[in-house]
């Protein structure tokens, strides 16, 4: 667990430095690969936000009016996901992106607020 905390701290430092050293990022990625049974979770608040929620609601209502209930049901699921993320962000008053380690799990709370957010997001989702 101590190693995971150290890596998370280093990743948090990388989020907002002027020039991101990709070799350091690769090194940290390799260290993460060495942790047995590590699970990574990207929590993408940039994707699931209130603007996206409003778009989904409008699209869902349009599908209901057109009586396309299957598409409306799919949009309802997306709406629930956006609501869950929006409520989580509000409850914890999250303003900036960060990495958070927890017992063989590494969470990346991505808000798109840091200088190197997109690079790190791409790095961690490239293999997905």
Domain range for 60: 47-93
Regarding whether 122 and 111 lie in a shared domain, the answer is: yes
d(CA 26, CA 32): 10
β-strands 39-44, 105-110 pairing: parallel
d(CA 51, CA 29): 32
Torsion of CA 28, 31, 35, 39, to 10 degrees: 30
Which mean pLDDT values do the consecutive 10-residue runs of the chain (128 residues) have?
91 94 92 92 90 94 96 96 92 95 94 94 82
pTM over 0.85: no
Regarding whether 56 and 84 lie in a shared domain, the answer is: yes
Regarding whether 54 and 30 lie in a shared domain, the answer is: no
Regarding whether 84 and 117 lie in a shared domain, the answer is: no
So what's the pLDDT on residue 36? 87
Regarding whether 104 and 83 lie in a shared domain, the answer is: no
Regarding whether 102 and 122 lie in a shared domain, the answer is: yes
DSSP string, 35-54: STT-EEEEEETTTSSHHHHH
Regarding whether 40 and 103 lie in a shared domain, the answer is: yes
CB atoms within 10 A of CB 124: 20
d(CA 110, CA 47): 9
State the number of CA atoms in the 13 A half-sphere of 71 facing the CB. Answer: 13
d(CA 126, CA 118): 12
Regarding whether 41 and 6 lie in a shared domain, the answer is: yes
So what's the pLDDT on residue 49? 84
So what's the pLDDT on residue 127? 57
Provide the domain count of the chain. Answer: 2
């Amino acid at each position: 667990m101590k190693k995971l905390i150290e890596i998370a701290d280093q990743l948090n430092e990388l989020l907002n430095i002027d020039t991101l050293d990709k070799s350091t990022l690769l090194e940290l990625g390799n260290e993460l690969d060495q942790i047995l049974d590590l699970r990574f979770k990207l929590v993408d608040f940039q994707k699931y936000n209130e603007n996206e929620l409003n778009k989904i609601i409008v699209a869902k209502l349009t599908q209901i009016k057109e009586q396309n209930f299957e598409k409306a049901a799919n949009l309802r699921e997306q709406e629930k996901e956006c609501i869950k993320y929006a409520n989580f962000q509000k409850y914890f008053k999250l303003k900036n992106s960060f990495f958070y380690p927890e017992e063989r799990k590494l969470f990346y709370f991505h808000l798109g607020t840091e200088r190197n957010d997109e690079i790190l997001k791409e790095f961690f989702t490239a293999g997905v």
